[in-house]
Amino acid sequence: MSNTQHKKILFTGPVGAGKTTAIQSMSDVPIITTDEQATDMTKDRKGHTTVSMDYGYINIGTKERIHLYGTPGQERFDFMWDILKNGALGLIILIDNSRKNPQQDLKFYTKSFKEFIEKGEIVIGITRMDDHSKPSIDDYRGWLKELNISAPVFSVDAREKLDVSSLIQALLYTMDPGVAV
């Protein structure tokens, strides 16, 4: 694959939103994770958490590879966010609809990645809507409008390859509306 064209997509969002799972469901290879046992309030949501990054990739034919990177969800690892966003063409923010205040999560992650969002493309994926239907997709669209951010918003199950593929395709389409997906 020496003449391969490489693209990088970054997944971010709060702990437990499904970043690792989404990358795992799409990657053509077993993913690299940096999960460690959760020792802080994160352990109330899940036993292990990403402390550095997740990584996998998708081969598109023989000439293109999309690298998928996931950030740690905890703010104390935000130094990794700056490292991981270098070279990324687009950002997928996953928000867990079952969390106490998903609107605040959306505000936090869009603010944290504000400079990147101003230069790049973004797609929002809302997880756990199957058992937490409120807030709705329209609520998220309204909140994004209040934040002066234009981005597609999808309900997704990070375990489902087709759902995650839709996020990636939407992101690629926003980068190049003429792309065949």
DSSP H helices, the chain, are 19-26, 78-85, 102-112, 114-119, 137-146, 161-175
pLDDT on residue 78: 75
Encoded tokens for 58: 């998708």
Q: Inform me whether the pLDDT recorded for 117 exceeds 60.
A: yes
Fold adopted by 5-175: Rossmann fold (3.40.50)
Instruction: Delimit the domains of the chain by residue range.
Output: 5-175
pLDDT on residue 5: 81
CA distance 146 to 163: 26
pLDDT on residue 181: 47
**88 in Cβ contact with 116 (< 8 Å):** yes
Reported confidence tier of residue 175, pLDDT bands at 50, 70, 90: confident
**Full-model pTM:** 0.87
Classify burial at 2, counting beta carbons within 10 Å of its beta carbon; exposed 0-12, middle 13-18, buried 19 or more. exposed
39-67 pLDDT per residue, tens: 555 445 545 555 568 999 999 888 889 99
pLDDT on residue 42: 46
